[in-house]
Amino acid sequence: MTVWTPVSLDEANEWLAARSLGRAVAISPVGEGVEDSVFRLDLADGSSVCLRIFERTEPEGPLSIAMCLANCGLPTCPPLEDGSGHVLMPLNGKQACLFPWIDGAWVPKPSQKQIEAIGLFMGHMAKVGLEKCKDWRRENPRGWKWFEDATAQLIKVLKDELRVELEDEMSAHRKFWQSGVGAEIPRGPVHADLFRNNVMFKPDGSLGAVIDWGFCASDVPLIYDLAIVANEWCLKEDGFDLDEKKLKTLLRARESVFPLSDAEKTAWPMALRLAALRFYLSRLYDYHFPRDPDGKALDPDYFRNILRMRQRMV
């Protein structure tokens, strides 16, 4: 369980009262997150809400894209406004906001129908994002500058084999994405962190909401978002390779709404590698440079293994 900023029930109620948002009778931390502090608030009227305190995440961009897409009918779990129309207000020195509590849960082993549902969502997001949210702008918090900066720090501490492996992989991506096909593929708003635990399914198995937009960005290859989902949702049960049936379901659903271009199809193997590299880098960085010894450290070898399998596709 990761809570960077503790919040008492009295502190939560003082914050709620200042915004005319009711009264909480219980508060409990939510242990799924890594970047921010998240709590469940049970309110006196019998409802529940999600309180998020933004620790490392810049809040304005994630909240605004979730609201833009929600206004177009997508299930993005936009923040709740107070009586003054505001969504953000400081709590214990950090920006905080409320979200609806989703009636459902994330699914560790999504069914084919649920993989289809997230593929359809991604198609609609790509289409709506380009058409209706084209003026939304946010620099990618895990963009190429971050890749370079993280790598520069890591090569100082990695052993020879890992250092050479990382330097070679970075070199391959520099060549591919900065010129030729990789530089020409369609770009637009992306979620960029669409792991299974960021998608809530209702008790009947249908898609409830896509949450946690903290790594969203504009002007990013749309296929990168799709590759992140493929690496997370479409693995074989017994390893790190892709399950072809799951992958076909995902791609077919996405393309039924927003077809891939020829350039995207060509770039697909490298997109899968880039998606694996992104999370390998972040886990490796947090392992070697932990922000807090009591925080949550995820295993970097998990995505190193995925990356190695994707390298065989190119």
Both 73 and 130 in a single domain? no
The pTM of the whole model exceeds 0.85? yes
The whole-angstrom separation of Cα 173 and Cα 308 is 14
Q: Is the residue at 157 inside a domain?
A: yes
In a shared domain, residues 210 and 268? yes
Residue that is last in its domain, among 41, 65, 100: 100
176 and 80 fall within a common domain: no
The answer on 235 and 201 residing in a single domain is yes
8 Å CB contact between 52 and 95: no
Does residue 107 belong to any structural domain of this protein? no
> What CA–CA distances, in Å, run from 126 to 44, 62, 196?
39, 16, 19
* Whether residues 75 and 138 fall in one domain: no
Query: Does residue 52 lie in a domain region?
Result: yes
Q: Which CATH number is 38's domain given?
A: 3.30.200.20
Helix or strand run (H / E) with residue 4:
none
Q: Residue 93 carries which DSSP code?
A: T
Same domain, 39 and 86: yes
Residue 2 falls inside a structural domain:
no
Closest CA to 214 of 198, 232, 233, 196: 198
Which domain range does residue 195 map to?
112-311
* Residue reference for tokens 């520069």: 152
Mean pLDDT of 174-203: 94
Domain containing residue 263: CATH number: 3.90.1200.10
Residues 68 and 147 reside in one and the same domain: no
More confident call, 1 vs 285: 285
The pLDDT mean for the chain works out to 94
Contact 234, 246 (CB under 8 A): yes
- Beta partners for 40? 28, 50
The residue-averaged pLDDT of 274-284 equals 98
* The pLDDT of residue 294: 62
Across residues 32-52, what is the average pLDDT? 90
| Total of domains in the chain | 2
Do 150 and 242 belong together in one domain? yes
Q: Is residue 105 part of a domain?
A: no
What's the confidence (pLDDT) of residue 103? 87
Q: Which pLDDT band holds residue 1 (cuts at 50, 70, 90)?
A: very low
Assess whether 123 and 222 both reside in one domain: yes
Residues 211 and 167 in one domain: yes
Beta strand ranges found along the chain (DSSP E):
24-29, 37-43, 48-53, 89-91, 94-100, 187-190, 199-201, 207-210, 217-221
Q: Within a domain: residue 106?
A: no
Question: 239 and 149 in one domain?
Answer: yes
Asked whether residue 66 falls in the same domain as residue 124, the answer is: no
What DSSP designation does 104 have?
S
Of the candidates 68, 100, 132, which is a domain's last residue? 100
98-125 residue pLDDT tens: 999 998 999 999 999 999 999 999 999 9
| φ, ψ at 24 (rounded to 5°) | -95, 145
